[in-house]
Amino acid sequence: MMPLRRALVGLGCALQLLATQGLAQASAAELGAEAAAIPIIDAHFHVMMWIDAPSLVEHMDRNHISMAGGVGGGSLPTIVALGERFIRPTGMGAWLGLHRKLDAADFENPETPAVRSALAMIEADLRDRGARVIGEIHVNALTTTQEPANRFKTPADSATLKAIFALAGQHGRPLNVHAQWDTDTVQQLERLADSFPSARLVLAHCGSNSTAGDVREMFERHANVCCDLSARGSPPLRGRTVIFSEAGLDPRWQRLIEDYPDRFVVGIDTVHDWQEYDGVVRAIRRGLLAHLSPETARRVASGNAEEWFGLR
């Protein structure tokens, strides 16, 4: 989409939110202007092929972002150059590769030789190669991803995914899944969460098209389910519903985040130029963090990511 058209769509969306929901405005109990410089860990960031390391470091520094990553990316030289500031993930490429090459029955069976070797590779990454998270694992992105190759749906409670979640649990690392809010997918996610209650299951984009009520029900039933809030700011991305914009935060989500301050992290996800990158960070700061209490904002901005990924 052209930048001007994007901006107009974003503005229209923000105004619509403002008109229909009554956005939370910064008050004394909220972080407010201090959100402009609070340190951020970008927990869901794809290092796209166009991104070079010097520019990324410059934009991270300027935006007070200490670390970024947590999901698969394309530009290996940039990732290597980022060094300790990259949150190393594992499993995304292997998962997509298996899905491309296997039929459904083989894909869902952890005893299939190709699946077994992928599981062994993921385990070695977690155990020996500093991987801090498994993700992003696309489970159901039928209508909620920009990437055509990732628009598929597979059961969230398959034996293969349960085996991957068990690896996450055994190594004390989270599993990040892209699962949009279809009724059957949600039921499967609940079974996945229950299959290893001490493992952390992170919903990428907090379910993409979920409501605050949907996520609240999930949180109430499953203490190990959490969310990254990437790609839920304005302008809306393919099929995802907007929670916040530079104008403010949906009050239902504000209440949810304050009620569960240890269940959320932020992320920039996929961007196509630096203008877009800076805009996404601005929306996270002004639209989301500024409207949280200072303690909640600190956790969502960086504290939870430090804990989940073992960065302290």
Contact letters (x/-) for Zn ion, 9-38, by CB under 5 A? Answer: ------------------------------
The residue type found at 31 is L
Is residue 269 a contact residue for Zn ion (CB under 5 A)? yes
Q: How many residues does the chain have?
A: 312
CA distance 174 to 169: 7
Q: Could you tell me the smallest distance in angstroms from the CB atom of residue 204 to Zn ion?
A: 6
Cβ neighbours for 309, distance < 8 A, ≥ 6 positions apart: 43, 70, 87, 132, 133, 173, 174
Per-residue CA distances from 256 to 208, 228, 251 (Å): 16, 13, 9
* Residues in binding contact with Zn ion, number by CB under 5 A: 2
Residue 218 pairs with which residues in a beta bridge? none
Which helix (H) or strand (E) covers residue 79, if one does? helix 76-82
Of residues 110 and 239, the one with the C-beta less far from Zn ion: 239
Given the rule CB under 5 A, which of 11-19, 51-59, 99-107, 134-142 is the region that contacts Zn ion? Answer: 134-142
State the residue for tokens 């001490």.
Answer: 198
Cβ neighbours for 14, distance < 8 A, ≥ 6 positions apart: 234, 245, 246, 247
Closest CA to 233 of 216, 249, 219, 222: 249
Of residues 145 and 302, the one with the C-beta less far from Zn ion: 145
Of residues 136 and 250, the one with the C-beta less far from Zn ion: 136
Given the rule CB under 5 A, which of 5-13, 102-110, 131-139, 282-290 is the region that contacts Zn ion? Answer: 131-139
Given the rule CB under 5 A, which of 3-11, 62-70, 89-97, 264-272 is the region that contacts Zn ion? Answer: 264-272
Given the rule CB under 5 A, which of 12-20, 155-163, 265-273, 285-293 is the region that contacts Zn ion? Answer: 265-273
Q: Could you tell me the smallest distance in angstroms from the CB atom of residue 205 to Zn ion?
A: 7
Q: Could you tell me the smallest distance in angstroms from the CB atom of residue 21 to Zn ion?
A: 26
Is residue 228 a contact residue for Zn ion (CB under 5 A)? no
| β-pair type (201-203, 175-179) | parallel
Of residues 30 and 228, the one with the C-beta less far from Zn ion: 228
Is residue 42 a contact residue for Zn ion (CB under 5 A)? no
Q: Could you tell me the smallest distance in angstroms from the CB atom of residue 311 to Zn ion?
A: 19
Catalog residues that contact Zn ion under the rule CB under 5 A.
136, 269
